[in-house]
Every structure is written in structure tokens, then in C-alpha cells.
Amino acid sequence: MNTMIIEISIIVVLASIFFIYIRKWPEPNQSQDPEIEKKKAEEELKKHIEKISQPPSDDPEVNDLIEKANTYFNEEEWKKAEKLYLKAAAKDPKCGKAYSRLGVIYLKTGKDYEDAEEAFKQALKLDPKNGYIYNNLGLVYHNQEKYDLAIDFFEKSIRADFNQASRHANLGIVYFAKRQYAKAEKSLKRAVSLDPDNHEYQDLLKESTEKRKTHRSLIK
């Protein structure tokens, strides 16, 4: 089985999330329904998840369940995939792949963020150095508006692999949500430095810089 880590391309998604915040986040003289904007952001974040491919189980029967579940997962047949991953986890509690994929399913479907959190935490116990799991936990906490926790886990994902430009961008987006524009700008500068040809990151950085300057002028 190919055990290489597969990461979803998130450039366009990052731009979508960031521009939602930029264009929709209320300034002091604006009013809107924050619940609507929260739902919009969460819909975009469902796409912004890193897939994790981990070593197979020592049990051939469990590996067979995982393979079948993966087929349903790739076809976005979430309920069928969930059922098989749960069976795999029951047969082999040390099968990190099952927990990781269950977390992704719960995060993508918005079914239950607490279940997603628990699944990723269990996967993390089995693979404590996996930066992809830290990233996905960051997304779980972001969706729950637990921004400080999201920052903590995105930072841990960066420490696991500093050269992942997308993770710096993730961190910048959370800082933007907290209106900490200087920190958002700093994270996005790192993303651009790691991926200088990425025009989306360049645009995000530009918007972050403009927002910081506007915010500074408002509080003078």
C-alpha cells in the first residue's frame, strides 16, 4: 500500500476563506448576521482538509476493510466509509488510518465536531509527530470558533514541517479571524516566501497588509 502522505491542494480554498473574512467581516461601522458568515466560512473549510495516509494494520482483515472504506471515501460515500472505518478500528484499536479518516469524514460533513476531535486525538496518540493531524485538529477548532486552540494546533503542524506554505496560510487566516492583522500578515509573508510563485498567497498577503493599515488608522 502506498504510505506516502497525500495533501489536498488548497490554494483556491485558502483564497475563498480569506476573502470571505476580508469582504464580510464587519468593520466598526458595519452590521450583518455573524451566524450567516460563520456558516459560509465553515462550508469553505470543509474543503480545506489534509488527507492522511498512514501505515496499514498488521491484520490482513483490517487492511481489507480499510481498502474498501478508502474506495467509498474517495467517492464521498461518507456513511458507507464511516461504517467500514469503525469496523476496522474495532478490530484493531491501533489502526491510526481508521481514526484519521473518521476524523476527516466528521470534519467534511460537519456531522459532529466533537467526534472529529476525538478521532483525530486518537490518531495523534498513535502517530504523535504527524503534522497533518495537527492541521486537521486546527480546522476542527477553527470551525468551533476556538481560535486560540486552532492557533496552537496550526503552530504544532508548522513545527512538524516548517516548509508547508499552506499551514502558514492557515495560521494567518485564524489570526485574521481574531483581527490580529499584524500576525496574519507575518504568517502570510512566510507562506509567500515558501511559495513565491503562488499568486493567491500574494493576494492574501496584500489584503492582510491593507487590512492592518486600515485597522491601525481606525484605532488612532
Report the CATH number at residue 51: 1.25.40.10
Would you say residue 1 lies in a domain? no
pLDDT for 200? 85
pLDDT for 204? 84
Residue 63 makes CB contacts below 8 A (sequence gap 6+) with: 1, 56, 57
Rounded to whole angstroms, what are the CA distances from 2 to 23, 53, 67, 172? 41, 8, 11, 32
Would you say residue 212 lies in a domain? yes
Q: Give the Cα separation of 192 and 199 in Å (integer).
A: 9
Q: What's the average model confidence in pLDDT over 177-188?
A: 93
Number of domains in the chain: 1
DSSP state of 103: H
Would you say residue 6 lies in a domain? no
Cα 48 versus chain centre, distance: 5
Range of the domain at 124: 11-218
Would you say residue 211 lies in a domain? yes
Range name among 12-16, 94-98, 154-158, 195-199 with the lowest pLDDT average: 12-16
Is it the case that residue 62 has pLDDT exceeding 90?
A: yes
Mean pLDDT of the chain: 80
Rounded to whole angstroms, what are the CA distances from 65 to 16, 52, 81, 94, 119? 35, 17, 9, 14, 18
Is it the case that residue 49 has pLDDT exceeding 90?
A: no
Would you say residue 180 lies in a domain? yes
Q: For 6, what's the count of Cα atoms within 13 Å in the CB-facing half-sphere?
A: 12
Would you say residue 111 lies in a domain? yes
Would you say residue 3 lies in a domain? no
